[in-house]
């Protein structure tokens, strides 16, 4: 059996898989803040999952953890997980000591990309998982394996500037993709409940300001899709995260923006991007499933 944990700023979700990767149990707990609380919650989630199966942690083959922040090449140390209050933590090593089980750690968006790959049948294909949450980042799977880059920042396309005169990004640059279409940018320009879902509903209801914002968001996401296709040429590009909950209106808008660009560029038209982008089904479980697969894909850190 294997456990996959998805540790977010608000909640920690976990899944227990049997030897055939069949889901057995799930759990969701408040994450807590700071190293001791994050570790305690992760340990509790693992123990609750194994208890629900009538066994204990000694029956586990491995525990995989997806976490926001930068993850070192040793697949243990996490830095700059601001929403969890972690400047630096040997999350994998200390959790392994508590559990007596091998632990592998990965960035949460990378874990979700791997989980998306598994949800869509696995194999040796390629995909980009564009996570449209509070921020914007992409996990990339090439030939069935995660591509992290030399410094672990492959896929951080949210901070690619696309408009030098655009809004100020939280990274200090202007006109980043994230400042155009991420969740925090939508909240900046559309205060109130509902986020992207509310914006697209209002746009469909005839609100001109909402329609302008929805078009900008779709244009920004379409730019991210083109960037992925033109740099790493993944076969499929999947949209996930909170902004993607806007659903069909969002997907229609993104495809329309891609089709409009294709009319102006034979190169873009040849990429057939509208057919390659879709919203990831069951995106809530992707990060947990990907985390559970980490040890299987990459092996256990020394």
Confidence of residue 47 (pLDDT cuts 50, 70, 90): very high
In tens, the pLDDT along 237-259 reads: 999 998 999 999 999 999 999 99
In tens, the pLDDT along 284-298 reads: 789 999 999 998 876
- The DSSP secondary-structure symbol of 10 reads S
Q: Sheet holding 2-7: strands in order across?
A: 23-30, 11-17, 2-7, 62-67, 103-107
pLDDT at 266: 95
For the record, the structure tokens of 54 come out as 């009538």
**C-alpha to C-alpha distances, 55 to 48, 96, 291, nearest whole angstrom:** 10, 18, 21
- Partners of 23 in the β-ladder: 17
Confidence of residue 301 (pLDDT cuts 50, 70, 90): low
pTM beyond cutoff 0.85: yes
In tens, the pLDDT along 61-108 reads: 999 999 988 888 888 999 988 788 888 999 999 999 999 999 999 999
Nearest CA to 107 among 123, 125, 92, 85?
92
Distance CA 179, CA 181 (A): 6
188 CB neighbour count, 10 Å cutoff: 11
pLDDT at 200: 97
Query: CA geometry: angle at 282 spanning 246 and 185, to 5°?
Result: 35
Nearest CA to 136 among 84, 68, 197, 209?
68
Check if the beta carbon of residue 248 is closer than 8 Å to that of residue 200: no
Distance CA 116, CA 118 (A): 5
C-alpha 68: how far from its chain's center?
9
- Partners of 25 in the β-ladder: 16
pLDDT at 300: 61
pLDDT at 121: 82
Element (H, E) at 258: helix 248-264
In tens, the pLDDT along 125-144 reads: 899 999 998 889 999 999 88
Check if the beta carbon of residue 76 is closer than 8 Å to that of residue 294: no
HEC letters along 14-65: EEEECCCCCEEEEEEEECCCCHHHHHHHHHHHHHHHHHHCCCCHHHCCEEEE
């Amino acid at each position: 059996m294997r456990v996959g944990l998805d540790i977010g700023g608000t909640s920690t979700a976990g899944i227990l898989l049997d030897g055939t990767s069949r889901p057995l149990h799930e759990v969701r707990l408040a994450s807590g803040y700071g190293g001791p609380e994050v570790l305690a919650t992760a340990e509790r989630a693992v123990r609750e999952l194994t208890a629900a199966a009538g066994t204990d942690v000694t029956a586990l083959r491995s525990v995989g953890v997806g976490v926001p922040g930068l993850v070192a090449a040793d697949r243990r140390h996490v830095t700059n997980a601001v929403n969890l209050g972690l400047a630096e933590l040997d999350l994998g090593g200390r959790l392994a000591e508590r559990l007596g089980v091998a632990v592998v750690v990965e960035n949460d968006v990378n874990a979700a990309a791997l989980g998306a790959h598994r949800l869509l049948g696995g194999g040796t294909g390629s995909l980009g998982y564009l996570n449209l949450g509070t921020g914007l980042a992409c996990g990339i799977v090439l030939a069935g394996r995660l591509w992290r880059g030399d410094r672990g920042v492959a896929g951080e396309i949210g901070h690619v500037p696309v408009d030098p005169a655009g809004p100020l990004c939280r990274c200090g640059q202007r006109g980043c993709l994230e400042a155009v279409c991420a969740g925090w940018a939508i909240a900046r320009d559309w205060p109130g409940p509902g986020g992207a879902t509310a914006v697209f509903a209002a746009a469909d209801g005839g609100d001109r300001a909402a329609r302008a914002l929805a078009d900008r968001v779709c244009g920004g996401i379409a730019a991210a899709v083109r960037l992925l296709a033109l740099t790493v040429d993944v076969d499929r590009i999947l949209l996930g995260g909170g902004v993607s909950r806007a659903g069909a209106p969002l997907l229609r808008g993104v495809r329309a923006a891609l089709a409009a660009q294709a009319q102006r560029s034979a190169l873009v038209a040849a990429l057939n991007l509208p057919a390659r982008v879709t919203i990831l089904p069951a995106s809530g479980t992707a990060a947990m499933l990907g985390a559970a697969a980490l040890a299987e894909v990459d092996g256990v850190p020394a």
